[in-house]
Amino acid sequence: MSQKVLNTSSRFKRLDPVSNVHERKLLTEDGYYWKGLQFPVTVKEFGAVTHIDIQPTHPHNIAVSSATRIQVYHHETSERIKTFSRFHNTVYGASYRRDGKLIIAGNEDSNARLFDTEGRVPLRIFKGHTRPVHVSKFCNNLTHVFTGGDDKTVRVWDVATEKSINKFSEHEDYIRTGAICRSSADIIATGSYDHLVKLYDTRTNSSILSVDHGLPVESILIYPSGSILLSAGGNVIKVWDILQGGKLLTSFSHHHKSITCMSFNHNCSKILSGSLDKHVKIYDVGSYNVVHNVDYPAPILSLAISNEDKTLAVGMVDKMLSIRKRKSDKTKEVDESKMSLRRKKQESLYYIRGKDYMPNEDDIVIYHKQKEQLPKYDKFFRKFQHSKALDEALQPRVMPEVTVAVFKELIRRGCLKSAMAGRTNIKLTNLLKFLIRNVTKISFTSTLLEVSDVLVDLYYPEIQDHPHSVRMLFIKLRDIVKNEAELHRQMFSLVGCLDALLATHARTENDITKLTNASDPIEISEK
């Protein structure tokens, strides 16, 4: 006699999560690749992290410019292993030489200092600027360095003699970024707040190319071939063709605040940009489309990525340094083995003896009902315990789509007000935080605006009896809803204008069609 399991649904209809197509996106191959970066290790610095550079050669340590120090972190353990503290004022732009043996940094004292990575005392001090030095980098020939500062000058120095061998004074505002050309030992580039990016040949006395970005320039990059230049200013990145005399090839903008830093990945197939909008975006160099996005808790000032994309270091305004590392092969093998064991256990839970047996004609088949397991919020709904269902839906482990579906069910049943009434300060805080996070999401807005309206009506008369933190959350929710309502009003006005334009365009096309279909050509010309 054979047995067969028959899945039967209960009379109680399960709650279906609200679809959120605007938030849920399938990961691409690039997405999976960059998702390989583990949860970040965060370090508190002494000041805002203004610049990060990773040692080009082994052991690929991380040099961080912050306050009056250069902190060096181990590439594997993320522990601080060295500090260069021979500065009296703020340090800017600490950068390694491409052989990884020397490091140079500018500072607020209008000079630049050169260090050996094995020592602590400066080997050279380059004096000549009259204002703070924000840019300091090694030229590609290893024997020269160049610096740029708030005195609007660019200077090229000889490392051996500590003397200035060239000076450029063509910028009209602060110089805040620079780059070298890997394909040439003499080509350098600088970007300034005068909106200009200038290309120099250190063998000449003037710039050989100048392009206007249109906004204060915060970061520049030169492709390894030396033919393409990238400039970032405002929330726009522009691509320039150097070989065609600085022709603008394209521009793209995916941040909504100023871009502060850019970097290539290890093989220059991707571009990374950090911004004050708290995002690091990763672009494909072929299409300049965003292939991945990494969120951070504070505005970003600097970033760097190591060889083979194993380490991503990001510095922020709130003095925090974030270091993400890619999973090693051993870690991946352990994770895969854990997943295989978990999969085997799950399969064994649903294993039924004789499941491959095919019943004969004379067998009697008995169907066994399998009890359906309902989520906790559905169980509470089944018992009409609406307040408990809402509490369960507001748990951190529950997806927002499910929580919004619970709100919609409460509205449908007409018990939203009773479910939200009489909540403790902790439960009220959780509810307010959820509304603040999700009320502006397109798929949720209509439902959560109604929930917010009911919530304010419930608790406004007694708002003074709640703690200050709860009152501030109510104020924040009010401001967000107010801004969202104003945005909707503007969008409706824009839709009205577009409808008028499209209607005018349609009438014009109809008139042209009538003229074209007219039988007498003389009448057409007269009209």
Closest to 480 in 3D by CA, of 521, 522, 449, 505: 449
Q: How confident is the model at residue 307 (pLDDT cuts 50, 70, 90)?
A: confident
* Percentage, residues of the chain above pLDDT 90: 30
40 residue type, one letter: P
Q: How confident is the model at residue 346 (pLDDT cuts 50, 70, 90)?
A: low
The average pLDDT across 381-391 equals: 86
In the prediction, which pLDDT does 63 show? Answer: 92
474 vs 329, more confident: 474
Q: Tell me the residue length of the chain.
A: 527
Closest to 283 in 3D by CA, of 218, 349, 232, 339: 232
Domains (ranges, CATH) in the chain? Answer: 3-18+336-370 (no CATH), 19-36+373-527 (no CATH), 44-183+201-208+260-326 (2.130.10.10)
Closest to 265 in 3D by CA, of 328, 223, 220: 223
Least confident stretch, 16-20, 257-261, 282-286: 16-20
| CA–CA gap between residue 331 and residue 16 (Å, rounded) | 37
The average pLDDT across 187-212 equals: 91
DSSP for 134-191, please give it. EEEEE-TTSSEEEEEETTS-EEEEETTTTEEEEEE---SS-EEEEEE-TT-SSEEEEE
| CA–CA gap between residue 380 and residue 389 (Å, rounded) | 5
In the prediction, which pLDDT does 155 show? Answer: 93
**What are the pLDDT digits (tens) for 442-481?**
888 888 888 888 888 888 778 777 888 888 888 888 888 8
**348: how many CB neighbours lie within 10 A of its CB?**
8
Q: How confident is the model at residue 370 (pLDDT cuts 50, 70, 90)?
A: low
| CA–CA gap between residue 188 and residue 242 (Å, rounded) | 12
Q: How confident is the model at residue 314 (pLDDT cuts 50, 70, 90)?
A: very high
Q: Largest Cα–Cα distance of the chain, in whole Å?
A: 102
Task: Please give the C-alpha separations between residue 150 and each of 66, 93, 174, 220, 328, in angstroms, as whole numbers.
Answer: 18, 14, 4, 17, 43
Tokens (6 digits) for 193 = 């707040």
**What are the pLDDT digits (tens) for 98-147?**
888 899 999 998 999 999 988 888 899 999 899 999 999 999 888 899 99
In a 3-state reduction of DSSP, which class is residue 402?
helix
**What are the pLDDT digits (tens) for 207-228?**
899 999 999 999 999 998 888 9
| CA–CA gap between residue 346 and residue 318 (Å, rounded) | 45
- Mean pLDDT of the residues in the chain: 83
Closest to 454 in 3D by CA, of 503, 492, 416: 416
Tokens (6 digits) for 113 = 């200092």
**What are the pLDDT digits (tens) for 427-439?**
888 888 888 888 8
Least confident stretch, 23-37, 41-55, 202-216: 23-37
Bridge partners (DSSP) of residue 111 are 127
* Percentage, residues of the chain above pLDDT 70: 84
CB within 8 Å of 39: residues ≥ 6 apart: 324
Question: Is the pTM for the entire model greater than 0.85?
Answer: no
**187: how many CB neighbours lie within 10 A of its CB?**
22
